[in-house]
Amino acid sequence: MQFLTVMTLLLIFQLSGELLVLSWDLPVPGPVLGMMLMFLVLLFKHKVAHQMRPATEQLLSHLSLLFIPAGVGVMVHVVRLEQEWIAILVAIFLSTLIGLLVTAWTMQLMMKLLHSKDIK
Amino acid sequence: MQTHSAIWVYLSASPLWGLTLTLVCYLLALKIYRQANHHPLLNPVGWSILMIITVLVVGDISYPSYFSGAQFIHFLLGPVTVALAIPLFFQLEKLKKVWLPLSVALVVGMTVSGFSAYFIAQALGASEQTMLSMIPKSVTAPVAMGIAEKTGGLPTLTAVFVVMTGIFGAFIGTSLFKLFRIQDDTVKGVAMGVTAHGLGTARSFQVSPEMGAFAGLAMALAASLSAFVLPVVLSLLKSF
């Protein structure tokens, strides 16, 4: 599928998501609802998923680039960061460490629990 | 020939330079990162941000002026979020096998990441708005900003926290797993995706395709679930 076609499809789903969020006042961001809609459609249209794959893989391979403009926004918050930098840095570093470990441990534990149930 | 100031007046009114600056810095940082064999200290996002800020400070250029160009890149976060449906679809078979451990780990992981930050920030005397902006920090940026808007955080501040979390998660992830002897690539991928979103996923793909796929899967699922889970947990906490 042509890159332009893929982009158009993605935008149509995003727009549908945004419209649903607005008209029903949903608590989800529009693009997320768009993703869920697209996932549902793909379940019935496997061929479309295969056709979209190369172009979306290209797009997703530079996912980290898309975070840069928002990251530069740190400039705007210089005053807050100057006042609260210790709290912010410690909170982010520690919680990321805790988050990584707790997620991995929970997943490990759940897999072990379910596995031992299978044996019985 | 035009004078320098005339050229500057033209350029500063055009979104072109902000867009070009972002791409040039990213490609440069990416090149250095690849040549240094993906050394975690050379994270291309972190260094691009530093380079761009340096240019803006030296040139006395405001963030809104830069963003008028960079918004064309920022805008893509929406369609790219939608595009996560495709890798999610191709992990369907694996997803069916591990959906239960994965969903429990997902809800526990994103709640713990968000609210541990909230409480640590509170304990260290951060302002209410900073604390609230931290809750969705493990979720990919467009979704996190959407959640922040709905829970009383500051979306642009949340975006900054999201990027910091991603860079730090990508930096520490693999060595942390080694230290605690967590070896299963599925488990490691899920932890990276839930905790460090897109930047954690990018890092996971460098370790193994399986770890990357599961990180992407976990990130996409976290993106769709967090919008429901995090505001509910917050309102439960507030009712106590």
Span A44-93, pLDDT tens digits: 999 999 999 999 888 888 888 988 998 898 888 888 888 899 999 999 99
Domain identity same for B145 and B227: yes
Number of domains observed in the structure of chain B: 2
CA distance A5 to B94: 29
Of B22-36, B74-88, B190-204, give the range with the top mean pLDDT: B22-36
- Give the model confidence (pLDDT) of B197-210 as tens digits: 888 988 888 888 78
Domain residue spans of chain A: 1-61, 67-120
pLDDT tens by residue, B114-164: 999 999 999 998 899 999 999 999 888 778 888 888 888 888 899 899 999
Domain identity same for B29 and B119: no
Residues B41 and B156 in one domain: no
Q: How far is B4 from chain A (nearest CA, A)?
A: 27
Q: Which of B14, B47, B75 is the last residue of a domain?
A: B75
B230 and B141, same structural domain? Answer: yes
- Whether residues B71 and B87 fall in one domain: no
Does B70 lie in the same domain as B15? yes
Residue at which a domain ends, from B47, B75, B103: B75
Rounded to a whole number of angstroms, the distance between the first and last alpha carbons of chain A is 49
- B62 and B20 in a single domain? The answer is yes
- Reported as a pLDDT band with limits 50, 70 and 90, residue B11 is low
B71 neighbourhood in chain A, CB within 8 Å: 69
Closest partner residue to B194 (CB to CB) among A10, A42, A103 is A103
User: Model pTM?
Assistant: 0.82
| For chain A, the helix, strand and coil percentages under 3-state DSSP, each to the nearest 5 | 90, 0, 10
Query: Do residues B171 and B193 share a domain?
Result: yes
Q: Which residue of A has its CA nearest to B205?
A: A61
The answer to whether residues B71 and B88 belong to one domain is no
Mean pLDDT of chain A: 89
Higher pLDDT pick, A92 / B43? A92
CA distance A37 to B217: 16
Q: Which of B16, B43, B75 is the last residue of a domain?
A: B75
Work out the minimum CA distance from B76 to partner chain A, whole angstroms: 7
Half-sphere exposure of B138 (CA within 13 A, CB side): 42
Give B25's contacts in chain A (Cβ within 8 Å).
68
Measured distance CA(B174)–CA(B157) in Å, rounded: 27
**ipTM of the shown complex:** 0.86
Asked if B148 and B196 sit in the same domain, the reply is: yes
**In the structure, what pLDDT confidence band is assigned to residue A120 with cuts at 50, 70 and 90?**
very low
Structural domain range at position B139:
81-238
Residues B86 and B188 in one domain: yes
Do B206 and B121 lie in one domain? The reply is yes
* Residue B89 to chain A, least CA–CA distance (Å): 7
| Segment B4-8 mean pLDDT | 70
